[in-house]
Structure 1
Amino acid sequence: MFVPPKKSSHYIKWLVIGAMSTMGIALVIILSLLWVRLLSKKERAARRYTEMKKQVDSESRAKLITFHGDLPYASSEIIEKLESLDAEDVVGSGGFGTVYRMVMNDCGTFAVKRIDRTREGCDQVFERELEILGSIKHINLVNLRGYCRLPSSRLLIYDYLAMGSLDDLLHENTQQPLNWNDRLNIALGSARGLAYLHHECCPKVVHRDIKSSNILLDENLEPRISDFGLARLLVDEEAHVTTVVAGTFGYLAPEYLQSGRATEKSDVYSFGVLLLELITGKRPTDPSFAKRGLNVVGWMNTLLRENRLDDVVDKRCTNVDAGTLEGILDIAARCTDGNAEERPSMNEVLQLLEQEVMSPCPSEFYESQSDR
């Protein structure tokens, strides 16, 4: 009987090594293809929010940049509408400019902010920063839809919210006071928006001017944080020291007033003041306590020490729940702690509002909602 010769162990060894090498190379190729496909998918998703269209009108020497996909109008129509804005279209003013209401030919409406402070020679830097801000999208933030550079001015185009600001509803529109549930919803939505800026944006964003007039409301009273004119993008912890304090007196954290150094914790302080404003219905520098040398934080602490909880709540506010009120006051006290290191982060504030105040279970909205 014929017996084939045995293959040497050396041959078998190299055969195994060759097979394993082939399998390894194939695995690397497969993983590489999957990785490229994943990156492409992420890039496609990102482009939904960061897609920009840059157009230059040679006749008017205007440059138009749009974010979040193209505005559904010809650039010539947009520029024509922007150039025709005048005093009759003014709806307000903010830290860095005047705000106009712009109505398109199809009745589509946008808010336009004319930037007052322009510096020659820094357009490229300014536009790069705007591109980052234009990539931010969240249900509780006002979308920056576009930017136009005209020979005489710079204009930012935002979504228009017809209900106006929280400041208007709390202090000007006395005929329709906000009830307790409305105020809780506004507090929660505002916390979501600010937590998104602090914890989910890259680079992270410190707003620097959280206040009731920068909380805009849609027809369902869903809040959206506005005015990124004062916001500074943070690359690292040492990159946000300024010599000029931006913001609004009454909302500013004590350490920010002293050093001019804006941090997430100074935003948290401002949010705590906003909570107190929602509860009391009083501006942070209301004359009733400002004449005693107090702001809303000092006034609140005085009332709580004197156990005068009934005097805290806005008399126009209905359906106030005592347990929820105490929870909100506790969160506000933690946010406005004089020691910045003792204040919670906005993610922690959001978690407290959802889990300890709003309901036994976290809200379904807790996910970033960045795709809405």
Structure 2
Amino acid sequence: MENGSLDYWLHESLDKSSILKWDVRLKIAQGASRGLAYLHKVCEPHIVHRDVKSSNILLDENSKLIWLILVSQGCYRPYDTHVTTDLVGTLGYIPPEYSQTLMATCRGDVYSFGVVLLELLTGRRPVEVCKGKNCRDLVSWVFQMKSEKREAEIIDSSIWDKGREKQLLEMLEIACKCIDHDPRRRPYIEEVVSYLDGIGVEAAGQQ
């Protein structure tokens, strides 16, 4: 696509003037959730993606979501009784239950999508190359910061603004629902679509 992947714009672009603004990040999150909902609920047969990540989200010339790339060997129907001993997915996005069950599920996709939401909010990669005892993966770091009531420090400084704090923290809460360690407590993707579409609606209605 004209503008490459979300991963590129969040983590590799060196042009500071091209940093994705909050309104664009929100639209990308909303569009990506609809794309995943289409796979899970609309297309026949329903599809579990198994490798949802920022590099599989492509943007057009207007930086709007186009699609989640479907890697043929990585997708399967959710009602298949398919268990694999091959690790499918990408480090940092793989749901914690996968190591025990080796079964890809729709709620596993939701976990991976929650990590993408954290990338949009923080500007950080799911797994950072770093040194020292305090180095953590993105999910663990976010939960630690939340436990210390330091939510504002989680947000990428390039999009932080006190005027949009409510919207940013709303998306953070949605992301944390998606990455719940217990898959049974994670929302279905259609619920995530509804949550994301509701961000900012109240403020817009008051204008």
Alignment TM-score, normalising by the size of structure 1: 0.51
Q: Where does residue 167 of structure 1 map in the other structure?
A: 7
Q: Where does residue 174 of structure 2 map in the other structure?
A: 331
Native 8 Å contact 1:336 1:343 kept in 2: yes
Matches within 5 A, 1:1-372: 161-175=1-15, 176-223=18-65, 224-234=67-77, 236=79, 238-287=80-129, 292=134, 294-317=136-159, 319=161, 321-355=164-198, 357-360=199-202
Structure 1's unaligned 5+ residue stretches are 1-160, 362-372
Change (3 A) 1:234 1:170: same
Residue identity in the other structure for 1:250: G
Ranked by relative contact order (alpha carbons within 8 Å, sequence separation 6 or more), the top structure is: 2
Native 8 Å contact 2:6 2:58 kept in 1: yes
- SS of aligned partner of 1:282: coil
Native 8 Å contact 2:78 2:106 kept in 1: no
In 1, Cα distance between the equivalents of 2:81 and 2:153? Answer: 42
Alignment RMSD: 2.0
In 2, Cα distance between the equivalents of 1:337 and 1:350? Answer: 17
Structure with a larger share of its residues in strand: 1
Q: How far has the Cα of 1:231 moved from its partner?
A: 3.3
- SS of aligned partner of 2:197: helix
Residue identity in the other structure for 2:175: A
Q: How far has the Cα of 1:265 moved from its partner?
A: 0.5
In 2, Cα distance between the equivalents of 1:228 and 1:262? Answer: 14
Residue identity in the other structure for 1:169: W
- SS of aligned partner of 1:216: strand
Residue identity in the other structure for 1:216: L
Residue identity in the other structure for 2:177: R
In 2, Cα distance between the equivalents of 1:162 and 1:291? Answer: 40
Structure of greater Rg: 1
Q: How far has the Cα of 1:289 moved from its partner?
A: 8.3
Q: Percent identity?
A: 42
Change (3 A) 1:192 1:235: closer
Native 8 Å contact 2:51 2:88 kept in 1: yes
Structure 2's unaligned 5+ residue stretches are none
Residue deviations 1:31-63, cap 9 Å, x none? xxxxxxxxxxxxxxxxxxxxxxxxxxxxxxxxx
Q: How far has the Cα of 1:315 moved from its partner?
A: 1.9
Number of residue pairs matched? 199
Native 8 Å contact 1:207 1:230 kept in 2: no
Structure with a larger share of its residues in helix: 2
Native 8 Å contact 1:265 1:340 kept in 2: yes
- SS of aligned partner of 2:47: strand
Change (3 A) 1:306 1:243: same
Native 8 Å contact 1:250 1:285 kept in 2: yes
In 1, Cα distance between the equivalents of 2:4 and 2:161? Answer: 24
Q: How far has the Cα of 1:285 moved from its partner?
A: 0.5
Residue identity in the other structure for 1:166: L
Q: How far has the Cα of 1:348 moved from its partner?
A: 0.6
Native 8 Å contact 1:268 1:345 kept in 2: yes
Residue deviations 1:97-151, cap 9 Å, x none? xxxxxxxxxxxxxxxxxxxxxxxxxxxxxxxxxxxxxxxxxxxxxxxxxxxxxxx
In 2, Cα distance between the equivalents of 1:252 and 1:235? Answer: 17
